Chains A and B, each alone.
Chain A
Amino acid sequence: MPEDVKAHITGVVFQITCKAGDKVAAGDPVIVLESMKMEIPVEATRAGVVREIKVAEGQTVQEGDTVVIID
């Protein structure tokens, strides 16, 4: 089952720290958001392989938006 990794806060995508095909463990940062001068990592919710990255650097995401899909 693929799983959506969602942003837990509203912010601007500062950095994408994974790419499609990467193996990730639960808790690994997949992207870093910047919000109100703070850098906040969004972490993989479970282990798996990154299927798709749904955002681009500089894009604003809302809390609850899917940022990465993990298989």
Chain B
Amino acid sequence: MLSSVLVANRGEIARRVIRGCRALGVRSIAVYSEADDGWPHVRDADEAVLIGPAPARDSYLSVERILAAARETGAQGVHPGYGFLSENWRFAKACEEAGLVFIGPPWRVIQQMGDKVEARRRMQAAGVPVVPGSEGALDSLEAAAALAGRIGYPVMLKAAAGGGGIGMVRVPDAAALPAAWASAERRSQAAFGSGALFVERYLAEARHVEVQVFGDARGEVVHLHERECSIQRRHQKLIEESPAPALEEGVKEKLVAAAVAGARAVGYVNAGTMEFIVRGSELYFLEMNTRLQVEHPVTEEVTGLDLVQAQLRVASGEPLPWRQDEIVQRGAAIECRIYAEDPARNFMPSPGTISRLTVPEGPGVRLEIGVAEGVQVSVHYDPLLAKLVTRGATRDEAIARMLGALDGFVVEGIRTVIPFHRRVLASAAFRAGRVHTQMVEQGAFNA
């Protein structure tokens, strides 16, 4: 087992990783910016190193400063959490070159799966269904028009070098293609320095369902079942749950088989997530997240397994701690992400000082929280304050416990999305499992 791990992150996920380290007797080292002095993740760790001023590029995104902190403290491993440097293959490679164990997949896998066109090609070769579209980047508007005519409108133009929804343009019909092509090319060029585009069929009102996978250095790959993540705003998740409710028959089996086949094909090691778009009985690979996912606790609650401890074990060279037949989904779990955003103002950020904080507890309630009363929630970082997770013998019980827990969660001084979560959980559509990724923007849960 690694003797010490530097946690290159902040807030709730840093605390979660530190807790995993502690359970295995691993010394934990936090890093922090000037804005986070005295925050819970800094106090939790066995040791903490100030790495720079508040802006992320000078602290949590600085490869140089994080590696220097690892050297100073004699860390053996680095856990990147999610966001920040977690999917930056150059960081993973720099860790390896500095003699540190990067707790995640090999850097080459991060690099391959980070390139959208390459990831699509590799998945297709492994027999994983991908959204109908171009094989690679298209060289002209004429080529795009021919292909779009064949796969059928509406289509989506995407930047080959891109990600995070940037440079993505939806095209309703053939008449709109020339203008959309010009706009997507311009935006992609500006954002990524490359105007290369590819075309995919656009699937309206589809669901986002993903599969947790885990691999080890011997080439073993298992899945830990699925998560439903369709309740989103700005292409970012707000609510996740496992199992995915109301899937058509056979879809779950196809999802986990595709996820394991895809992860095996790229030589995946450690925790990862295969994301899919699902509509009816159709399912398509969307992308792979080559890191621990924000919503991993949902999977932990239904399987009873600890993903962070397993990450530390596998990174230390141990085999996977479980066989596939030992990984059983029991009951149901739901996660509500508690963001510092104002749902009444289209999810505008709401930074400021938390003047009062009361947190829920009770049977089946789990809270992963990064903040404390009195802290200043900074403009410099992601608005995620906490993740509230409830578990039940049934989905209804998990929902009932979530509604009770949301009532017991009081945050004053800033706005949060708690009132929005109450409306979603009380809605007939959510209760029936009739969800898709455009519901929030369509106003399905407006007050």
- A residues touching B (Cβ–Cβ < 8 Å)? 8-12, 34-38, 40, 60
Chain B contact residue count (CB 8 A cutoff) = 14
Nearest B residue to A58 by beta-carbon distance? B55
Which 5 pairs across A and B sit closest by C-beta, in order of nearness? A36-B349, A36-B383, A35-B349, A35-B379, A10-B351
B380 touches A9 (CB 8 A): no
Nearest B residue to A60 by beta-carbon distance? B379
Q: Binding site of B, secondary structure by majority: helix, strand, loop or mixed?
A: loop
| B340 at the A interface (CB under 8 A) | yes
In the complex, given contacts A35-B379, A38-B349, A40-B348, what are 5 additional A-B residue pairs having Cβ atoms less than 8 angstroms apart? A10-B379, A11-B351, A12-B379, A36-B341, A36-B381
- B residues touching A (Cβ–Cβ < 8 Å)? 55, 234, 340-341, 348-352, 379-383
Please tell me which one of the listed residues B379, B381, B382 contacts residue A11 in the complex, with CB atoms under 8 A apart: B379
Sampled A-B contacts (27; CB under 8 Å): A8-B348, A9-B348, A9-B350, A9-B351, A10-B349, A10-B351, A10-B352, A11-B349, A11-B351, A11-B379, A12-B55, A12-B379, A12-B380, A34-B379, A35-B351, A35-B379, A36-B349, A36-B351, A36-B379, A36-B381, A36-B383, A37-B381, A37-B382, A37-B383, A38-B349, A40-B349, A60-B379
Q: Give every chain B residue within 8 A of A34 (Cβ-Cβ).
A: 379
CA distance A28 to B1 in the complex (A): 57
Q: Give every chain A residue within 8 A of B349 (Cβ-Cβ).
A: 9-11, 35-36, 38, 40
CA distance A36 to B56 in the complex (A): 11
Nearest A residue to B383 by beta-carbon distance? A36
CA distance A37 to B352 in the complex (A): 15
CA distance A8 to B349 in the complex (A): 11
Nearest B residue to A61 by beta-carbon distance? B379
